[in-house]
Chains A and B, each alone.
Chain A
Amino acid sequence: GENVEQHPSTLSVQEGDSAVIKCTYSDSASNYFPWYKQELGKGPQLIIDIRSNVGEKKDQRIAVTLNKTAKHFSLHITETQPEDSAVYFCAAILNFGNEKLTFGTGTRLTIIP
């Protein structure tokens, strides 16, 4: 089955700086990669996703890049704000397979004011 590794497990950055979270996946057939943000006491919220036919996607301060050859994808948050503090999960899925969403282990991001 698919295995997703996520690094770092914790990340602290100064407000206004950039944050980068990296994930690698094992199954080359995976073709959809969402990122979820989970605030304390809440469910995971989809913040951005990317499909395997695209190398990069951007939505305001958030961007995701995908390297299919190396089987890794990254989340980039620029101009970080205190409200960006949360746990972030990457995930991978085989849309043509059994549709099981495999999550990374999560990154606790703390923005220091």
Chain B
Amino acid sequence: DTEVTQTPKHLVMGMTNKKSLKCEQHMGHRAMYWYKQKAKKPPELMFVYSYEKLSINESVPSRFSPECPNSSLLNLHLHALQPEDSALYLCASSQTHKRTGGNTIYFGEGSWLTVV
């Protein structure tokens, strides 16, 4: 089973709202990722967690706040977003972050976010 589960599938929020996106995997993977994808573009890396610690932040604005409560869960807290933040937010996971021989990254189906 190579399943990464994301909730909600769709989210509409106002610019003053606070909401969260959730991601879960039960493959024993120790690296988890958040990507952002705009229409007709490839996914762009936002954050990487390795062994529940933030290891990469791609200079993402502070209105996006990631959290990794345990090895199976990854959250993305959203606050004071702008309409241009509307996009598909993808969670992904892989066995390890740095490992000889490589790893395979599996994506969830994504959460469609619309900021109004």
Question: Which residues of A come within 8 Å of B, CB atoms?
Answer: 31-32, 34, 36, 42-46, 49, 51, 89, 93, 95-96, 98-101, 103-106
Contacts and interface: CB of A to CB of B under 8 A. Distances in A.
B61 interface: no
Contacts, number: 61
A43 B107 contact: yes
B52 interface: no
Q: How large is the interface on B (under 10, 10 to 19, 20 to 34, 35 or more residues)?
A: 20 to 34
B43 interface: yes
For the residues of B in contact with A, the DSSP-based class is loop
A101 B105 contact: yes
Given A100-B45, A106-B40, A95 B107 contact: no
Given A44-B107, A99-B97, A51 B102 contact: yes
